[in-house]
């Protein structure tokens, strides 16, 4: 390759990974990406003006996701990561069709890890109302192994508990057991944490559920999938790059940013504010 082309390819590969979420929760994916791919720059966009997506209809989540993804393209993203289970569950086909770069969601990587982990063939999935209602994890799990049994449960209290910072509290333990206990009783041996907030409760869940239940962290598995994609597409940032993290939100951050920053030990620098550009209906 001539030097000028090589330089152009290097510049191409130095473009940031664009990551979006309905709010701050997707920073769990950023944290996993930073650990795995320290040379990669990341532009994170949290739609805090309209958070949460979890209780909203598929049509609304699709519209919001297309708006946010187009803002990441304006930031020159070389690939888009949907670090939001709800958006991954209901908007991935629309995003894949509309966005001119490769799009990675959190559902399929999580499903692959769960299928690899289960011995009993019975997998539990927890997430927001919209994620669970979409049936996206069931579909992904069954596409990988049609024999697999899936028990899914919406857990709408876990996100606000996490945002309150009550990560290790007796009340949190009780709510986890109230939601997950029945799944364990039904015989699951693997539990997919199907919401980007949930890794912040991973410690509490591991303590409560013990070694017999494998926890599948969608953030970690999504980061692995992004690494594989970048290698496959020859888009890995040059090793000389120092990965830079930029965080932008559509509304002022609240106290949950502090919770996430502390729990993830993530240096998010100065937070930028962006106004959502409304998606034009065609």
Binding site for its own copies (CB under 8 A): 48-51, 55-57, 59-60, 129, 156-157, 159-161, 163-164, 170-171, 174-175, 178, 251-252, 254-255, 278
Q: How far is the CB of 9 from its own copies (least distance, A)?
A: 41
Question: Catalytic site residue 84?
Answer: yes
Q: How far is the CB of 115 from its own copies (least distance, A)?
A: 30
> Of the residues 192, 195, 205, 259, which is catalytic?
195
Q: How far is the CB of 190 from its own copies (least distance, A)?
A: 25
Question: Catalytic site residue 195?
Answer: yes
- Tokens in use for 41? 């720059």
CA dist 139 to 28, 220, 239, Å? 24, 21, 38
* Residue with Cβ nearer its own copies (69 or 161): 161
* Residue with Cβ nearer its own copies (84 or 115): 84
> Of the residues 84, 87, 91, 158, which is catalytic?
84
Residue among 228, 220, 161, 229 at smallest CA distance from 193: 220
Return the half-sphere exposure (C-beta side, CA atoms, 13 A cut-off) of residue 17.
29
Q: How far is the CB of 249 from its own copies (least distance, A)?
A: 10
Helix 107-117, helix 136-144: angle, nearest 10 = 50
Q: How far is the CB of 155 from its own copies (least distance, A)?
A: 9
Dihedral sign, CA of 110, 265, 91, 233?
negative
Return the half-sphere exposure (C-beta side, CA atoms, 13 A cut-off) of residue 255.
7
* Residue with Cβ nearer its own copies (185 or 275): 275
Distance between CA atoms of residues 128 and 53, nearest Å:
9
**Non-local CB neighbours of 129 within 8 Å, separated by 6+ positions:** 54, 55, 154, 156
Query: Residue 214: helix, strand or coil by DSSP?
Result: strand
Active-site amino acid positions: 84, 195
């Amino acid at each position: 390759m001539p030097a000028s082309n090589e330089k152009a390819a290097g510049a191409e590969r130095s473009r940031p990974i664009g990551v979006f979420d309905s709010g701050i929760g997707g920073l769990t994916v950023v944290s996993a990406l930073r650990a795995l791919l320290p040379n990669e720059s990341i532009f994170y966009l949290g739609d805090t003006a309209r958070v949460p997506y979890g209780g909203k209809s598929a049509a609304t989540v699709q519209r919001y996701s297309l708006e946010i993804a187009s803002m990441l393209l304006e930031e020159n993203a070389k690939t888009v990561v949907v670090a939001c289970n709800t958006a991954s569950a209901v908007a991935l086909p629309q995003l894949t069709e509309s966005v001119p770069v490769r799009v990675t969601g959190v559902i399929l990587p999580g499903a692959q890890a769960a299928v690899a982990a289960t011995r009993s063939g019975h997998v539990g999935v927890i997430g927001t109302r919209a994620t669970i209602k979409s049936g996206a994890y069931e579909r992904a799990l069954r596409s990988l192994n049609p024999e697999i049994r899936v028990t899914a449960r919406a857990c709408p209290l876990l996100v606000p508990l996490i945002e309150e910072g009550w990560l290790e509290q007796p009340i949190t333990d009780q709510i986890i057991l109230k939601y997950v206990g029945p799944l364990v009783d039904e015989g699951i041996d693997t539990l997919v944490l199907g919401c980007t907030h949930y890794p912040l409760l991973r410690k509490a869940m591991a303590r409560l559920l013990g070694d017999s239940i494998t926890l599948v962290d969608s953030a970690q598995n999504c980061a692995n999938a992004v690494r594989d994609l970048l290698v496959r597409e020859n888009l890995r940032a040059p090793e000389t790059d120092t990965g830079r993290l930029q965080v932008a939100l559509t509304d002022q951050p609240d106290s949950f940013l502090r919770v996430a920053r502390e729990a993830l030990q993530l240096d998010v620098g100065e937070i930028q504010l962006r106004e959502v550009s409304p998606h034009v209906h065609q």
